[in-house]
Structures are given as structure tokens and as C-alpha cells.
Amino acid sequence: MTFTELTYATGDALEATFDILPLLGNNFNYAVIVLGFIGLGYWLTYQVKRNKQAKRDGTYA
């Protein structure tokens, strides 16, 4: 198998994944948005915890 054949096979496989998107509709978009907000909430909670610990340890800049 040549590199060109590998490249085209990879491109064809990735292009086939786009056929799934119309079936999902906006549900995929909503899922990504919800996941983003969950991640944001987790990160902000973690950051507050670490800031409190830094203030307590005297390493808060």
C-alpha cells in the first residue's frame, strides 16, 4: 500500500463520518454545549478549591 492510497483511504473514512451528522441533527450540538458547561462548572469549582488552598498555604500570588 502506497502512502497515496493510505491518504485517500483515510480521507474516505473521515468523509464517511460526515454522513452521520444529518442524522444527529441539533442533538449533537446540544450535547457538546451541555458537556462544555459541565466542564466549565467542574473547572471553576476546582479553581476555587485550589485558590483557597493557596491562600491558606501562603502561596497565593
Cell numbers representing residue 21 in the block: 451528522
- pTM score, two decimals? 0.61
Cell numbers representing residue 46 in the block: 476546582
Which pLDDT score, from 0 to 100, does residue 1 have?
83
Kindly give the confidence (pLDDT) of every residue in the chain, 61 residues in length, as a single tens digit, with 9 standing for 90 and above.
899 999 999 999 999 988 888 888 899 899 999 999 999 999 999 999 999 999 999 898 7
How far apart CA 14 and CA 29 sit, in angstroms, is 19
Helices (H) and strands (E) in the chain, counts: 3, 0
How far apart CA 32 and CA 26 sit, in angstroms, is 10
How far apart CA 38 and CA 7 sit, in angstroms, is 36
